[in-house]
């Protein structure tokens, strides 16, 4: 449970603001449209990195930690979607109890268990209340550097995850260690179903005799991702080595997410 709580924010999804409800949503934050200020730096970064040029994303400077985006998509000049999304900072007790689309979904925690865990983390000084949203308290990791490190570890984990899926789809079978890791996160039933799907996808791809170029491209991509993981872990150790030592009791939790962090260089 403590792994899920500390890494919850790295997996939260953005939510839609219902059509015509932007003013109502902003009012719940005690703000108005006049408080929406475009984050020019982030918008330039999005524009430069955009692969799909039919979508325009306008990020705003977070309000009370709440991220808000205006998203417009076009098809041959015709507007197909025009709406707003948001993502709240941190996590709340009921959000965690009712979590969906999340690792360890196969485990059920009672409200009492979750409340006890929140109290213990607060007592340790690991989490603090950051805001109330619609009457419910939301919590974040208290130490900003620990929060930044957790975010980076979560990002490394996502690269690892995507790289494994690509490998299983196009190159090789999963190792026993990878199978165990997957089952730990998703439960045996869901994990084995995914593994069966990947085995079928891989067999179909490897049977193709006329696509050697794609095979080379996928293998090159996998190697590049492996290098990025290695480089990010090296930088993480250099940047947050003191945090890793200060919060040494979190070592076992971090090992669940990214065991390579503690491997010898």
Give residue 215's pLDDT. 78
Same domain? For 218 and 116 the reply is: no
> With 80 as the cut, is the pLDDT of residue 103 above it?
no
Do 222 and 92 belong to one domain?
Answer: no
pLDDT at residue number 77: 57
Give dist(CA 139, CA 51) in Å, integer. Answer: 34
If asked whether residues 68 and 138 sit together in one domain, one would say yes
Whole domain around residue 15: which residue ranges? 1-142
Beta-bridge mates of residue 73 = 55, 81
Is 232 or 4 the better-scoring residue by pLDDT? 232
Is residue 217 domain-shared with residue 232, that is, in the same domain?
yes
Q: Where are the beta strands (DSSP E) in the chain?
A: 15-17, 55-59, 67-75, 78-87, 127-133, 136-141
DSSP letter assigned to residue 82: E
- pLDDT-based confidence at 104, cuts 50/70/90? low
Q: Which of 91, 119, 142 is the last residue of a domain?
A: 142
134-172 per-position pLDDT tens digit: 889 999 999 999 999 998 998 898 888 889 999 999 889
Verify that 126 and 246 share a domain, yes or no.
no
Domain boundary among 118, 142, 166: 142
Q: Which residue, 125, 142, 159, sits at the end of a domain? A: 142
- Does 92 lie in the same domain as 126? yes
pLDDT band at 17 (very low <50, low <70, confident <90, very high): very high
Residue closest to 160 by CA, chosen among 105, 230, 217: 230
Per DSSP, helices labelled H in 99-187 are: 111-123, 144-170, 176-186
Domain co-membership, 229 together with 253: yes
SS3 248: helix
What pLDDT score does 34 carry? 94
In total, how many domains does the chain have?
2
Candidates 85, 55, 81, 48; CA nearest to 70 is 85
pLDDT number for residue 4: 73
Confidence of residue 42 (pLDDT cuts 50, 70, 90): confident
Same-domain check for residues 258 and 166 = yes
Whether residue 85 contacts residue 71, with contact meaning beta carbons closer than 8 Å, is answered with: yes
Q: What values do phi and psi take at 30, rounded to 5?
A: 60, 40
User: 160 and 136, same structural domain?
Assistant: no
Tell me the pLDDT band of 265, cut-offs 50, 70 and 90. low
Residues 138 and 186 in one domain: no
**How remote is the C-alpha of 39 from its chain's centroid?**
21
Which H helix or E strand runs over 42?
helix 40-49
What is the mean predicted confidence (pLDDT) over 209-227?
Answer: 82
């Amino acid at each position: 449970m403590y792994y899920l709580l500390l890494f919850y924010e790295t997996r939260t999804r953005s939510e839609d603001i219902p059509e015509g409800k932007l003013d109502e949503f902003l009012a719940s934050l005690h703000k108005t449209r006049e408080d929406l200020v475009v984050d020019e730096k982030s918008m330039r970064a999005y524009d430069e990195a955009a692969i799909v040029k039919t979508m325009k994303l306008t990020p705003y400077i977070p309000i009370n930690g709440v991220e808000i985006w205006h998203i417009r998509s076009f098809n041959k000049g015709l507007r197909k979607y025009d709406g707003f999304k948001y993502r709240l900072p941190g996590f709340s007790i009921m959000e965690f109890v009712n979590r969906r689309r999340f690792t360890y979904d196969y485990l059920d925690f009672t409200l009492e268990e979750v409340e006890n865990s929140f109290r213990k983390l607060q007592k340790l000084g690991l989490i603090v209340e950051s805001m109330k949203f619609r009457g419910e308290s939301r919590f974040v990791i208290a130490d900003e550097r620990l929060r930044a490190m957790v975010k980076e570890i979560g990002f490394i984990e996502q690269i690892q995850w995507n790289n494994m899926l690509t490998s299983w789809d196009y190159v090789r079978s999963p190792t026993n260690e990878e199978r165990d890791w997957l089952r730990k996160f998703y439960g045996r039933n869901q994990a084995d179903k995914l593994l069966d799907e990947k085995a079928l996808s891989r067999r179909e791809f490897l049977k193709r005799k006329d696509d050697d170029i794609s095979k080379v491209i996928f293998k090159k991509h996998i190697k590049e991702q492996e290098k990025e993981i290695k480089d990010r872990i090296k930088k993480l150790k250099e940047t947050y080595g003191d945090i890793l030592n200060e919060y040494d009791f979190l070592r076992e939790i971090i090992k669940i997410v990214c065991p390579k962090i503690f491997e010898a260089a």
